[in-house]
Each structure stands twice: as structure tokens, then as C-alpha cells.
Structure 1
Amino acid sequence: MRLLMWDVDLTLLHAGGVARESWAEAFGAMTGLAPRVLPTFAGRTDLDTAAEIFRVHGLPEPDFEEFFDRYAAAFAARRDLVARHGRVLPGAAEVLAALAERPDITQTVVTGNIRPVAEVKLDALGLSGTLDLDVGGYGTDDGDRATLVRRGRQRAEAKYGTFADLWVIGDTRHDVAAALACGARAVGVASGSAGADELASAGADLVLESLADVGAVVRALTGSRCVNESSSPG
């Protein structure tokens, strides 16, 4: 059995900027302030970025549970905007569907998003049915992304039993580093701001230019380990 843990944003989908609006609304509701600046979210966890935004505004650390409840509610209220302005990245839906048919593969997520937000994004764009979201790693697990990978694996093995190996698929150096820190196989997808060379230099076992060539991606993710191999499906 192989466990595949997918990053969400810019690996599988683009949510159309809705998260930033929802984040600002939650911050304003908690503080009465409009945020002067929002943090960089790519590859980071919501717990980490929430701590940063309060810190840079000179505010004490908040009740994170309250903050994330407000954020989740603000995001859920914008679900139609995600469906309207968001998009699934080329090949993502087809790759997930093809892998879901394999009995030796379990798919979940490892994402810096809090779980309710990840669920809305994936559901609004039609991707949730191929992923077991109960066993994922989420942005409230820890500020360190590697801990998200470990927690996700623990949840998956509690449900399914031991996996022969774990692969983490993401679009940033943070995804690669988290995978390697946990002894997982790191697959970099150059669909975000990091190019193929950057992901390879970060130590990714396999680098894909995109998920667009569905057959090539499925073969790559169901094959044996390929160290620092670059592929260009699509």
C-alpha cells in the first residue's frame, strides 16, 4: 500500500483569491482593524501565518480556535466565489480519479489550510470525492509543515494499517523539505511559483512540470522511487 499526500493550493487547484478576503475578514472581526499587510501563504501553515499576522500588527497572540472558526465561516460564505473564480489545475482531477481506482493507493492531503477551508475548496471544485480527508494533515496541526506530514501518516495508518511508503506531492520547497524530514518521497510539481530547477535543488525525488499528461503522472506516482529525476508531462 502506498499513501499519497497531496498539497492543495497551486498543486491541485487555485481558489481564486478567496482565502485572502476571508482571512482579512476574520482578522478584522477579531481586532476591529483592517490588516495593513497579509503574510505570504505559499507552502506555510495557517497556524504559522496566523501567528505572523498578529505579530506584525503588534498584537498579542490570539485565541487561534476563535480566529480559525471565524476564518472558516468567512470562507464557507464565499463557497460560490470559489466555484466561480477558482479552477482545477490541468490534469489534477483526472490524475486523482485514475489513482482512486487503484486498490494499492490511498490518497489524502497535506495542506497548510485548516481542514474546513480545504474541504470547501476541494468540494467546490469537484475534487473531494477521490481523497480521504479524514486522514490528512492540516494547518492547525502545527506551525511546522513536517509535523503535518507525520500527523497525516499517523491518522492514515490508524485507519488503514501500515503503508509500505509515503509520497508527498507539492509545488514549493516547503513541501519538499517536509517530505524529506519525514523520510517520505518528495514529488515537486512546478505549477506554482517554484520552477522545476528550484524543486530539484531542494531535493525532490521527482519533479513534474505539471499534472497535465495524466498517463505519465499516474505512471510516475505508481512506479518506484526516482531520485532527482525531472519529467515534463504536459
Structure 2
Amino acid sequence: MDAPRRRDVVYFRLPMLLLFDIDGTLMIKASREHAESLYVALRKIHGLAEIPVGKVEAAGRTDDAIARSILTLAGVSAERIDARARDVQMLTCEEYARRCPDDLSERVAPGVPEVLEKLAARDDVELALVTGNYECVARRKLDAAGIGTFFARGTGGYGSDSEDRSDLPAIARARHGDYDAANTVVIGDTPRDIACARADGVHVIAISTGPFRATDLHGADVVIDMAREIPVALTRIPGLS
């Protein structure tokens, strides 16, 4: 009796959505003009004589969250902060468009262009952003750095989408056709990047190129030292389809 014929089985790998932070991850020391623009907007809109620089932690936070902390310290009411938040955002964008250098390529983190090229060439990967930057700032910053074309417009999650960074991965997934959390990875450099990933149930790779050391980045699926390690790190994440 002939043995039953074996049907060939073809396995399809689901695409991964990789959500990159900007400051400290894709770029290093690229926030000076950004911060100046936000401070100018707060001074003009809320009439602040002084900005309490150094009293507010900015790493891993959204622009609106940073603005709220500064304004609260300055005695501005929550109602006024909420009422003028959109004005702060728009003026920050205008100021940054004037202040951002035309060439920020020297502030791109080592190995980032090469790893983005490698990842973009894969048919099982989509690239997007999850950043606390307002979208207008993020786009201008990455375009000046020469890496903006890796991240399609109309994708990602930004500080202009929500003050709460924990909301941003889900926003980004929805803009990509509601990617499943099991196939989404946040790549960032701060404990807040890890926290926002965990809040949405997605994977996270932490990279110690920002202000935090590898020992500070516990809770990530994988912790790496340099951008060039990202492709290998993806293979080390348990449960990533």
C-alpha cells in the first residue's frame, strides 16, 4: 500500500513593527535646539520670566509632559496649561523650524544609518517612530539628520498625539493596521521607553547610548550597547513571531 502523500507546509513569518525612539537612540545630543524652542514657546505663551531648567527630568518624556512640569513649577494652573497646550505645540514647531540646523548628520548615533538600511531591506520588518517629540519636531530633526526617509509619514506615535507616553505604542500600531503586540518592538534608551512598551504589552529592546547605563535598563527583553546589535537582539526576544 502506498504511503500517504505528504503535503508541503509553507510557513509565513509575520512582519515585525519596530518602533524607534529618537533622542538617545537614533540621535545623540540632538535636543538642544528642540529644548530651546519649547522654552521660547512657554515664555511667550505663558509669560514666564524664567524657565526652571534642571528641575524637570526630560529623558523619555513627551514634550507636553515636560511643558506641564515646567508650567506647574512656575505656578500656572492646570486649566490654563490645558487651554494653551495646542498653542505651545504650534509655536514650538515654528521656533524649531527656525532653530534646527540644516545638517544634523553628525548627531546620528553610531551605526544607525547602516542598521536602518539593513532593516528597511527586509520584507518582514516595518519601521516607525515612538517618540516624545512633537511630530513636527521629530520630522524636521530626522530630515536634517538624513534618516527621515526610513520612517513613512502618517505612521508612528508622537508627543503631539498624547501627553502620556504609554499611549504611543498603541497609537503607532493602529496607524500600521493595528499590528499585534506580539509582533511589535519598541527600541529606546530610557526606563520610560521600557515602561511605555510594557504598558501596551509589546516587546522592548533597550540601548545604552543615552543617559542611562545598561544596569539602569532592567525590564527590557534585551539590553544592548550599540545600534548595530539590533538585528541580533531581535532574534533573542522570546516569543517574537
TM class by shorter chain equals 0.7 to 0.9
Shift of 1:40: 2.1
Is 1:176 equivalent to 2:176 in the alignment? Answer: no
1:231 counterpart residue number: none
1:52 counterpart residue number: 69
Shift of 1:31: 2.5
Within a 5 Å distance, the mapping from 1:56-75 to structure 2 comes to 56-60=73-77, 61=81, 62-75=83-96
Shift of 1:117: 0.3
The Cα RMSD (Å) is 2.0
Distance (whole Å) between structure 2 residues aligned to residue 146 and residue 84 of structure 1: 28
- Give secondary structure in 1 for the equivalent of 2:133: coil
Over 3 Å counting, the alpha-carbon distance change for 1:85 and 1:128 in structure 2 is closer
| Structure 2 gaps, min length 5 | 1-14
TM-score (norm 1): 0.86
More moved, 149-158 vs 66-75: 149-158
Is 1:206 equivalent to 2:222 in the alignment? Answer: yes
Shift of 1:218: 2.0
1:91 counterpart residue number: 111
Is 1:193 equivalent to 2:193 in the alignment? Answer: no
- The question of whether the paired residues in 2 share the 8 Å contact of 1:27 and 1:34 is answered with no
- The question of whether the paired residues in 2 share the 8 Å contact of 1:24 and 1:34 is answered with no
- Give secondary structure in 1 for the equivalent of 2:127: strand
- Give secondary structure in 2 for the equivalent of 1:89: coil
Higher Rg: 2
Q: 1:71-103 deviations in whole A, cap 9, x for unaligned? A: 00000101226x259600101111111101111
1:6 counterpart residue number: 20
Shift of 1:33: 2.6
2:99 counterpart residue number: 78
- Give secondary structure in 2 for the equivalent of 1:167: strand
TM-score (norm 2): 0.84
Distance (whole Å) between structure 2 residues aligned to residue 35 and residue 140 of structure 1: 24
More moved, 47-56 vs 117-126: 47-56
Q: 1:97-155 deviations in whole A, cap 9, x for unaligned? A: 11011111000000001100000110000111111242111112222211011111111
- The question of whether the paired residues in 2 share the 8 Å contact of 1:189 and 1:207 is answered with yes
- Give secondary structure in 1 for the equivalent of 2:87: helix
Q: Which amino acid aligns with 1:204?
A: A
- The question of whether the paired residues in 2 share the 8 Å contact of 1:206 and 1:226 is answered with no
Within a 5 Å distance, the mapping from 1:152-163 to structure 2 comes to 152-157=172-177
1:217 counterpart residue number: 230
Q: Which amino acid aligns with 2:230?
A: V
Within the candidate set 35, 44, 57, 1:40 is matched to 57
- The question of whether the paired residues in 2 share the 8 Å contact of 1:185 and 1:205 is answered with yes
Distance (whole Å) between structure 1 residues aligned to residue 209 and residue 181 of structure 2: 28
- Give secondary structure in 1 for the equivalent of 2:101: helix
Is 1:117 equivalent to 2:137 in the alignment? Answer: yes
Distance (whole Å) between structure 2 residues aligned to residue 34 and residue 75 of structure 1: 20
The count of residues paired between Structure 1 and Structure 2 equals 218
- Give secondary structure in 1 for the equivalent of 2:176: helix
2:35 counterpart residue number: 20
Over 3 Å counting, the alpha-carbon distance change for 1:16 and 1:46 in structure 2 is closer
Distance (whole Å) between structure 2 residues aligned to residue 126 and residue 118 of structure 1: 12
Percent identity between matched residues is 34
